[in-house]
Amino acid sequence: MKKEEIVKEILELKKKRNAVIVAHNYQVDDVQEVADVIGDSLALSKYCADVKKDVIVFCGVHFMAESAKILSPDKIVLLPEIDAGCPMADMVTKEALIEEKKKHPNATVVCYINSSAEVKSECDICCTSSNAVNIVRSVKSKDILFVPDMNLGSYVAKMVPDKNIILWEGYCITHHRIKISELERAKELRPNAKVLVHPECQPDIVAAADFVGSTKQIIDYAANSPDKEFIIGTEMGVLFKLKRDNPDKSFYLLSQGLVCPNMKKTSLLSVYRSLKEMNYEINLDETIRLKAKKALDNMLEIS
């Protein structure tokens, strides 16, 4: 099928199913083009919590679709590619977390939204990359067990020095591999460019950046900045909105390695098949869902 035909079919099926298509900022351009909403983890969670549709087609990775289901249990939540996972989210399991919690009985457990529903069910409050600093500031205890991203945790520890942040050794395979030599080279080539990076990058990269934020915060920063050139230190999918919304500005990817293979699994054809066959439906154990929802609700109350 040609692209226009697939798009036409998607739009018809979307109407028939009373569905909404949401896409994370890292999705391929074709999928972002057909989406009703594009955003970062926080914006999409908030949107899904309130959306008045029967079906949510979540173009992203597994934990994101799970979060939508946690917040919208009465809706059918579909993940077009069932193997689209997040390796960082898989770096913490519920069992391992229960063991770690025993070592830190006074710690509040803050979990990055990049985690499974099972892990969230063992946490006190969730955070995303856009609100992690505020969430940690809002927590009463001094000790905080932060899972699973050690890079985001380190960034938060720097921003909130009065807290004792206990890190988990998880990381994003895509952001963690960016090297400071790549950043130095990019700056040499584009000396006037502002460097905007995601807090999933390692601390030396974050320290050398002009701005640190979630995908949406990076996109908003570039749109509102008087600067004309930017070096982008996050997954390449953000270039879609950056270029579309700022035709007078130039964007350079910090590293050619900034590709998340899991985010790239979803294609226009997957979205079409998902709506046609109602695949792959996310279902959760109700006890787990309710406990995980508490952690997400605690976050949404603050952000």
* Alpha helical stretches, state H, 191-232: 203-208, 215-224
Which member of 215, 255, 262, 298 binds ligand 13P (CB under 6 A)? Answer: 215
Query: Which phi and psi (to 5°) does residue 122 adopt?
Result: -100, 10
Site for ligand SF4 contains 172 (CB under 6 A): yes
Query: Which phi and psi (to 5°) does residue 160 adopt?
Result: -125, 75
Tell whether residue 172 is among the known ligand binding residues: yes
Which member of 32, 115, 128, 266 binds ligand 13P (CB under 6 A)? Answer: 128
Tell whether residue 303 is among the known ligand binding residues: no
Shortest Å distance, C-beta 174 to ligand SF4: 4
CA atoms within 13 A on the CB side of 190: 17
Question: Per-residue x/- mask for ligand 13P, residues 71 to 110, rule CB under 6 A?
Answer: ----------------------------------------
Alpha-carbon span 194 to 95, nearest angstrom: 42
Tell whether residue 260 is among the known ligand binding residues: yes
CB atoms within 10 A of CB 156: 26
CA angle 179, 87, 103 (to 5 degrees): 95
Q: Number of H helices and number of E strands within the chain? A: 15, 12
Which member of 13, 25, 81, 119 binds ligand 13P (CB under 6 A)? Answer: 25
Which member of 200, 209, 273, 282 binds ligand 13P (CB under 6 A)? Answer: 200
Going by DSSP bridges, is the β-strand pair 108-112/76-78 parallel, antiparallel, or unpaired?
Answer: unpaired
Name residues contacting ligand 13P, limited to 133-192 (CB under 6 A). 172
Alpha-carbon span 199 to 153, nearest angstrom: 9
**Token reading at 133:** 């600093």
Which member of 19, 23, 31, 41 binds ligand 13P (CB under 6 A)? Answer: 41
Report how many residues bind ligand 13P under the rule CB under 6 A: 11
Task: List interacting residues with ligand SF4 (CB under 6 A).
Answer: 61, 86-88, 114, 172-174, 200, 235, 260, 262-263
Task: List interacting residues with ligand 13P (CB under 6 A).
Answer: 25, 40-41, 114, 128-129, 172, 198, 200, 214-215
